[in-house]
Amino acid sequence: MSEEQPIVFLHAVERQYHQGEATLEILRSAELAVWPGETVALVGPSGAGKSTLLHIAGLLEHPDAGEVYIDGVATAKMPDAERTRIRRTEIGFVYQAHHLLPEFNAIENVILPQMIRGLSRQVARDRAVDLLSYLGLQHRLTHRPAELSGGEQQRVAIARAVANAPRILLADEPTGNLDPKTSEHVFQALTQLVSASGLAVIVATHNMEIAGRMNRRVTLREGKVIELP
């Protein structure tokens, strides 16, 4: 793993949305570098552009201008198929709503992305069991999402997001729907994974207590990424 360069580097990123006559300038010369093993909280009011930044960092959206380097590789002008390949191998996502497949149990939800990636069912299953156990879900392996608490669902979503061993984890309000104690639990699971794996993490969150325990805090001001103390 290279420590000399950021695993994610947004450089001079511009993003606008057009709504009728109006132009919303969401990102303006935005700069953000995140190194392996680093956790960054992205805080700010609703509508500030946090999801937009995560989507651009995660290669789900193109910037209008600027560049997104993933492990030193410029992605902005890459063909979509190549962006998709990098997204699938290097990047995991966790959303506010867990987006688990309701008809599949916890293990199956973590096995599926690995089988899509081409791993055998047995290898994928072993890793799913390891990950879920690591996240404290060893007694919930065969529960479907509806049979799990909100915090448990979110931990399955984290296990699924890292199932293919990405180098970057992007989380959009992952504890947004959870009570403080459960949020704490989910967050602990996340930090454990980071220290075990050297993942780089960007978490959009309103939870200042959680933000306070990450390595860095940033916010968006007039489209720029500003470091907070």
Residues contributing to the site for ligand ADP (CB under 6 A): 17, 19, 24, 26, 44, 46-52
User: How far apart (Å, rounded) are the C-alpha atoms in residues 160 and 154?
Assistant: 10
Residues 223 and 225: their CA atoms lie apart, in Å, by 7
For tokens 């050297």, name the residue. 198
Cβ 186 vs Cβ 175: under 8 Å: yes
Size (the chain), residues = 229
Nearer to ligand ADP, 19 or 122 (CB): 19
Instruction: Name which of 26 and 148 has its Cβ closer to ligand ADP.
Output: 26
Q: How far is the CB of 23 from ligand ADP (least distance, A)?
A: 10
Identify which of residues 51 and 109 has a Cβ nearer to ligand ADP in the complex: 51
Report how far residue 147's alpha carbon sits from residue 169's, in angstroms, rounded to the nearest whole number.
26
Minimum distance from residue 79 beta carbon to ligand ADP (Å): 23
∠ CA 153-159-163, nearest 5°, is 145
CB of 112 to ligand ADP, least distance (A): 27
Q: In this structure, are residues 164 and 89 in contact, taking their beta carbons and an 8 Å threshold? A: yes
Rounded least distance, CB 134 to ligand ADP, Å? 29
In the bound complex, what is the minimum distance in angstroms from residue 126's beta carbon to ligand ADP?
36
**Closest to ligand ADP by CB, 43 or 189:** 43
Question: How many angstroms separate the CA atoms of 116 and 154, rounded?
Answer: 21
Cα separation of the two ends of the chain:
28
* Nearest CB to ligand ADP, comparing residues 45 and 102: 45
